[in-house]
Structure 1
Amino acid sequence: MKRLIAALLVLAGAGAALSGCALPDQGAEGMIALLLPDKKTARYETFDRPVFEERIAELGDWSVLYTNADQDAARQQQQAESALAAGAEVLVLDPVDGRAAASILAAATAEGVPVIAYDRMIVGGGTPAYYVSFDNERVGELQAEALVRELEERGDADGGILMVHGAPTDNNASQFRDGARRVVSDAGLRILAQYDTPDWSPDKAQAWVAGQIAQYGDEIVGVYAANDGTASGAVAALRAAAVSPFPVVTGQDAELAALQRIVSGDQHMTVYKALRQQATIAADVAVALTRGETPAGDTTVDGVAATLLEPVAVTIDDIASTVVADGFWRIEDICTAAYAAACADAGLD
């Protein structure tokens, strides 16, 4: 009890460092910290956090200290330091910046607190206790394969494409990019321009794509967008410029708005990742670590025990058999009044 009271005092004094945090339960037997990177990507608040917290509650009387860094690596550093001072026994860390997070890993390791690298690997600072993510190069391959296939079916494979990559601070973004570039190169597609999107910002992606439209115009037949947020920015720019025929646009994360864009024809595909499974595995591993266990993992990544889940490409033909069948989204979530006719045409009513 003294420890928990002290933890609450630390948290109360942390101020901006723990902006938006969820305070721990005073009656819990211990604390696990969940540190997520941003609020612009819908998945974190919609799936990762609630599923993780629900699973922890199922496993026992553990409290979850939740913080979101809102794409600020310095803020995440402060949040991690506050979590350690508050007595967190495990850090589940999805880093804003994989390299900057090395100092978080080093500080936790120095205090004997294991760190789970969640979704994104931590580069330097020691060795995480576990890594749970997806086969990220495969994500990029799936996106590019769908893009190539659709362009070939349209007879547009001789046109040019834009490549809107993810944040340069995100280690996963480089893996998505590597996988996609390999497929694009093998297919012989012509890349007009490429962009690393700061903070995965849809607004910045939109502004960049708008500039490329002004330069390349109807040469653009496709846009490789690394996730659904950057895809939304690309689509907004393409619609504002009234580009026709509408280019093929990729995405990732199976966000609700992205699925609706797929139904309406504004986005060709997304990548579905079993986020519920990912968050559940992270919670299971976190509790095991608090009990002094050493989870073995299904594989290793850079010597770190890991689970890498398999991503799945989703086009309009796959929505029912993937995200709906898995209970990720319901038909009624996707097929609101504005999309009812398009859903009916797609057999989703």
Structure 2
Amino acid sequence: MKGKKFFAAAAGAAMAFTLAACSGEGAGSTDEEPTDGSTAGGGDAVAEGGLVGVAMPTQTSERWIADGDAVEAGLMDLGYEVDLQFANDDIPTQSQQIDQMITNGVEALIIAAIDGTALNSQLEAAAAAGIPVVSYDRLILDSENVDFYVTFDNYNVGVQQATSLLVGLGLLNQDGSEGDAEGPFNIEVFAGSPDDNNATFFWNGAMDTLEPYMADGTLTVPSEQTDFEQAAILRWQQETAQRRMEDLLTSTYVGTDLEIDGVLSPYDGLSRGIITALESNGYEGTVADGFPVVTGQDAEIASVKLISDGVQFSTIFKDTRKLADQAVTATDAFLAGGEPEANDTETYDNGVKVVPSYLLESDIIYQDNIQELLVDSGYWTAEEVESGTAE
């Protein structure tokens, strides 16, 4: 593998390229006082409790397990009962789970959809029963019966993913200034699941950031697979990403003088599949030694370990504890008779309406800010980072 001495400098800087914090006081703020004398979002209305349904997509990703547990804990702390269900990435299962929640009399729903277009009948039933629906991280599409959306600034997550790729290649420094490298560099690009609305935001943010470098020849995509449909990985499956990377290597690189310098990956599970494919095809060592720059998202502990070891270059840290808090706060505001406060009322059009949203910030994780952003914040422990497994 050809060495790139600027990798070491890129990995050595500690500053994260961080989005500006979203404005607003939080999803629980409200200008409308509830009629029962309680304070919306403040928890006074929850003394009587109530049942809230929480529908999460899968338990195959540690991220979604953590989200579900955090939402459940936050609701229970406010006095609610919780029906938490995981659907194992099966659309009919999630539909049935939500149907059953409605039948069981939930007073609100928090839904992270597997397929954002597949829940129309469930949302119609919820609306008919007066049940508010909070769309969690993945926007539910093609329905007027989505009351609120909590998520991260997903376009800027894509910008951050592409920015970290450029940092790894030496074209940018972590402070956003121009790097010393000139290229050209060979990259390949991956996208998320086409049935997840967020995947398009990630892709657009990333490709808009990379396009000027592709236009002037600094970056090339030898496979020429630069359309979302070509790059998309259904259900965000690691094995599918590994097979696609292997196919790209076989069809474009094996038997030629071409080598891959970097891979845009929108999720850590995909990143690990990509890395496995690269290692199986002769790429070895660390980024500092010339291993291709691979990006990621979600700060999954297995990938944080790889970043600590210098194999994966970066990931995007979306602190899902904050996301869970906003979902709980929004739900509590609805059930207290108020309206959650949005800090974005323009961006997230689900095809029928613009859904009021609360957006959170995210950070790029590099090798040298793992301690500051993940360990010091209590997201992972030093022992978990060292072992690559969650305790």
What is the CA–CA distance in structure 2 between the aligned matches of 1:336 and 1:196, rounded to whole Å?
31
Partner of 1:271: 316
Name the aligned partner's letter for residue 143 of structure 1: Q
Work out whether residues 103 and 125 of structure 1, in 8 Å CA contact, stay in contact via their aligned partners in 2. Answer: no
Shifted more, 289-298 versus 196-205: the winner is: 289-298
**SS of residue in 2 equivalent to 1:321:** helix
Partner of 2:111: 93
Q: Is 1:333–2:384 an aligned residue pair?
A: yes
Work out whether residues 107 and 131 of structure 2, in 8 Å CA contact, stay in contact via their aligned partners in 1. Answer: yes
**SS of residue in 1 equivalent to 2:364:** strand
In structure 2, runs of 5+ residues without a counterpart are 1-47, 172-179, 285-289
How do residues 158-307 of structure 1 correspond to structure 2 at under 5 angstroms?
158-188=184-214, 189-191=219-221, 192=223, 193=225, 194-217=230-253, 218-243=258-283, 245-300=290-345, 301-302=348-349, 303-307=354-358
Residue 155 of structure 1 and its aligned partner are, at CA, apart by 4.3
Residue 156 of structure 1 and its aligned partner are, at CA, apart by 7.3
Work out whether residues 313 and 367 of structure 2, in 8 Å CA contact, stay in contact via their aligned partners in 1. Answer: yes
Structure 2 length normalisation: TM-score?
A: 0.75
Identity in percent:
32
What is the CA–CA distance in structure 2 between the aligned matches of 1:236 and 1:314, rounded to whole Å?
21
Deviation string, structure 1 residues 21-45 (Cα, Å, up to 9, x no partner): xxxxxxx842100001122321111
**SS of residue in 2 equivalent to 1:82:** helix
Normalized per residue, the structure richer in strand is 1
What is the CA–CA distance in structure 1 between the aligned matches of 2:304 and 2:199, rounded to whole Å?
21
What is the CA–CA distance in structure 2 between the aligned matches of 1:199 and 1:332, rounded to whole Å?
30
| Pairing partner for 1:133 from 151, 161, 177 | 151
Name the aligned partner's letter for residue 130 of structure 1: F
Normalized per residue, the structure richer in helix is 1
Shifted more, 243-252 versus 83-92: the winner is: 243-252
Q: Is 1:58–2:77 an aligned residue pair?
A: yes
Work out whether residues 148 and 187 of structure 1, in 8 Å CA contact, stay in contact via their aligned partners in 2. Answer: no
Work out whether residues 35 and 93 of structure 1, in 8 Å CA contact, stay in contact via their aligned partners in 2. Answer: yes
Structure 1 length normalisation: TM-score?
A: 0.84
CA 1:100–1:156 in 2, change beyond 3 Å: closer, same or farther? farther
CA 1:156–1:41 in 2, change beyond 3 Å: closer, same or farther? farther
CA RMSD between the two structures = 2.0
Residue 83 of structure 1 and its aligned partner are, at CA, apart by 0.6
| Pairing partner for 1:80 from 51, 76, 98 | 98
Residue 215 of structure 1 and its aligned partner are, at CA, apart by 2.0
Q: Which has the higher contact order (CA 8 A, sep 6+)?
A: 2
Query: How many aligned residue pairs are there?
Result: 310
Residue 107 of structure 1 and its aligned partner are, at CA, apart by 2.4
Shifted more, 267-276 versus 323-332: the winner is: 323-332
Partner of 1:5: none
Name the aligned partner's letter for residue 185 of structure 1: E
